[in-house]
Amino acid sequence: MHSIHQFKVRGIKGEDIDFALLAGKKIIVVNVASACGYTPQYQQLQELYEQFQDQVTIVGFPSNDFGGQEPGSDQEIQAFCSLRYGVTFPMTTKIRIKGSEAHPVYQWLTQKERNGVADSEVRWNFQKYLLDESGRLVRSLPSSVSPLDEPILQWLDA
């Protein structure tokens, strides 16, 4: 199936995040970390979420796969994001992004045979995957692209 809507993931607060319930909205999936040079993007992600939450849902996937930059527990990650950046967009429990233990959502996002669009490699924290209202992969953007940069804003306006 070529839609992210087939997945459910465990939220950082213990709730289920059911991607099927996001049908009709654009989705940004982003792997996040608390001790990365890109960590300030949490603030920009939150701003984007607040400004466009009728159109888009952001789902953050904490991972320690890149430089050991997310060593904390789910509770520590949640406290950090809430207190430091006021994050209210959905966050999952800490997952693996790379290798044979990669979370099924990331296997789907990175393998053309699963997503029907493109192969990709997650190169660092805060890489963004853009999905349309039908849950289909549109494109991925590198960590260096801010959540408030033109490629994302233009995609939201389209």
Q: Which residues are catalytic?
A: 36
* Pairwise CA distance, residues 81 & 3, whole Å: 28
| Helices then strands, each counted (H, E), the chain | 5, 6
- What are the DSSP E strand ranges found in 13-155? 16-18, 26-32, 56-62, 128-131, 137-141
Tokens of 141: 């953007």
